[in-house]
Amino acid sequence: MKIIPEEIKDIERLQKYERIFHGLLKNEIFSKHDIWDCGESKRLIGRIINILLDEGSIVKQAKETFQWEPSSIELYKKEWIASVRPSHQLKRLRKEERPREKLLIYGSSKLTTPELLAIFLRSGIQGKSAIIIANDLLTQFGGVKGIFEADKKKLMEIEGLGEAKVAQIKAIHALAEEYLKETMKSVSKVRNSKEVFDYLYLTMRDLKTEKFKVIYLNSAGQIIGDENLFEGTLNASSVYPREIVKSAVSKNAASLIFVHNHPSGDPTPSESDKAITEDLVYACNTMQIKVLDHIIIGENRYFSFTDEGLIEEYNLNFCSIKESRRGANR
C-alpha cells in the first residue's frame, strides 16, 4: 500500500509527510541521519521508513542506510514532488495552524525550523507554500547555517525565491549577528571560553580571511568593548603587541581576551599563533594587564589557550625571565 498524499486529510500532517519525503527522495541511497535535518520527529521519520521497507519500495543496505527501488522512487517523486497541490498554501490552513499564529499563541518552541523560516518568507508560489519553500532551502543548504552562508546567486536558484525573500534571509542573519554582539557586551562577567565562543561563533565562522579581535574587560571582569585590530594571515610581523597594549591602556582595560578565526575550519594553533600569543602575554605583563585567554574559532569548534594551560605557561615563563634579570642586576 503506497503512501499517497490524497489519503492524508489533515493538512498539517500532510505537510510533515511532504517535508520528510523531500528528504527521502533527494538521493537514491540515503541514511536516517540525512533525513533528520528536515525538522520532523525521528519517530515519524522511522515510521515512514518502516512502511517503505514493508512494501518493498526501499531495501536496507547497511545499518540505517537504505536504497530506493527504481520504479518506487519515480512513483513517489511523482506523488510528493511533481504534483501540484494548491491546498498546501498557508492561506488554506486554519488560522491557528499557520506558523505566525502558532508562534504568537504557543511560542517558538512549538514550531519546526521550516515553520520559523516560513514566517520570514511570508508567502509561497503556485503549488508551494512558504513552508515547503523553507524546507527546500533547509534541504538544499543543509540547515540554517548553510542558508546564512549561501550567497545571493545560490539562494535565488531555489524555486520561489526572489530578491525580496533573499534580502529577508540576509536581514535575519544580520539581526542574529547584532543580537549576539549586544548579548556579549551586556554580559556581567565572562566566565569561560565556551561563553566567548558562543557569542562570537556566528559572526566569525564564515569569514574568508583571518581577523584578530581584542575584547577589553575592566577590573570586575566585565566587557567594556571589543575591536578588530588586524586582518589577513596572522604572523609576528602583522600583529603588533605595542598597538594592542596602547589600545588597552587608552580604554583603561584591566584584562584582555584575544580571538581570531581560522577560515580552514581547523582551530588548532600554528607555531605562529603560539609565538604571537606568548609575545602578547609578555607585553601585557609589562604593563600589568592580564591576558585571560586567546581563542581560535574554527568550524563548530574552538581552541582555548587558557583551557590547554598555555596562558599559564607563558605567564610562568615571563616571571622566570623577570626573576633571572633581577638576579643578573644584583
Longest CA span, the chain: 93
Same domain, 308 and 226: yes
Is 198 a member of any domain?
yes
Question: What grid cell was written down for 289?
Answer: 594587564
Same domain, 192 and 324: yes
Is 182 a member of any domain?
no
Same domain, 314 and 212: yes
Residue 248 belongs to a domain with what CATH number?
3.40.140.10
Q: How many CB atoms lie within 10 A of CB 167?
A: 12
Check residue 273 and give its pLDDT. Answer: 92
Residue 21 belongs to a domain with what CATH number?
1.10.10.10
Is 220 a member of any domain?
yes
Is 97 a member of any domain?
yes
Check residue 106 and give its pLDDT. Answer: 76
Same domain, 194 and 209: yes
Check residue 277 and give its pLDDT. Answer: 94
Is 197 a member of any domain?
yes
Residue position matching grid coordinates 517523486:
77
HSE toward the beta carbon, residue 258, CA cutoff 13 A: 31
Same domain, 199 and 99: no
Question: What grid cell was written down for 145?
Answer: 547555517
Q: How many CB atoms lie within 10 A of CB 126?
A: 8
Check residue 84 and give its pLDDT. Answer: 46
Same domain, 220 and 300: yes
Domain termination residue (choose one: 149, 176, 203):
176
Same domain, 247 and 120: no
Contact 267, 301 (CB under 8 A): yes
Is 99 a member of any domain?
yes
Check residue 306 and give its pLDDT. Answer: 95
Residues 6+ apart with CB under 8 A from 309: none
pTM above the 0.75 mark? no
Domain termination residue (choose one: 26, 56, 83):
83
Same domain, 35 and 134: no
Is 181 a member of any domain?
no
Contact 213, 227 (CB under 8 A): yes
The boundaries of the domain holding residue 38 are 5-83
How many domains is the chain built from? 3
Same domain, 44 and 72: yes
Q: How far apart are CA 296 and CA 45, in angstroms?
A: 38
Same domain, 140 and 76: no
Check residue 305 and give its pLDDT. Answer: 96
Check residue 93 and give its pLDDT. Answer: 53
Contact 234, 260 (CB under 8 A): yes
pLDDT by residue for the chain (330 residues), tens only, comes to: 578 877 776 666 777 888 888 888 888 998 888 888 777 888 888 899 999 999 999 999 887 899 999 999 998 888 887 764 544 444 555 555 577 777 787 777 777 888 888 888 877 776 677 888 888 888 888 888 788 878 888 888 888 888 888 888 888 888 877 777 677 666 656 778 888 887 787 778 767 788 899 999 998 888 888 888 888 776 655 778 888 999 999 999 999 999 999 988 899 999 999 999 999 999 999 999 999 999 999 988 899 999 999 999 999 999 888 777 766 665
Domain termination residue (choose one: 157, 176, 195):
176
Check residue 87 and give its pLDDT. Answer: 42
In 3D space, the residue among 297, 261, 291 whose CA is nearest the CA of residue 278 turns out to be: 291
Is 280 a member of any domain?
yes
Same domain, 59 and 135: no
Same domain, 191 and 322: yes
